[in-house]
Amino acid sequence: MKYCAFLRGVNVKGTNMKMAEVCQVFKVAGMVEVSSVLASGNIIFSSDQNADALKKILEEAMSKHFSYQAFLFVRLHEEVQTYLDNNPFEKNEDLHSYIFVGDNRVEKILMQEFENASKAERETARIVDDTFYWQVPKGNTLDSGFGKILGKKSLKDQFTSRNVNTFEKILKKF
Distance of CA 154 to CAs 34, 157, 165, Å? 31, 8, 27
Amino acid making up residue 33: E
The reported pLDDT for the residue numbered 12 is 59
DSSP 30: T
Alpha-carbon distance 15 to 62, whole Å?
12
Amino acid making up residue 166: T
| pTM greater than 0.85 | yes
Residues paired with residue 32 on neighbouring β-strands, in sequence order: 46
| Mean pLDDT of the 26-32 span | 98
**Residues 113/149, Cβ–Cβ less than 8 Å:** yes
Amino acid making up residue 136: V
pLDDT digits (tens, 9 = 90+) for 56-110: 999 999 999 999 899 999 999 999 999 999 999 999 999 999 999 999 999 999 9
Residue 156, Cα to own-chain centre: how many angstroms? Answer: 11
| Mean pLDDT of the 165-169 span | 97
State the greatest distance between any 2 C-alpha atoms of the chain, in Å, as a whole number: 47
| Mean pLDDT of the 32-49 span | 96
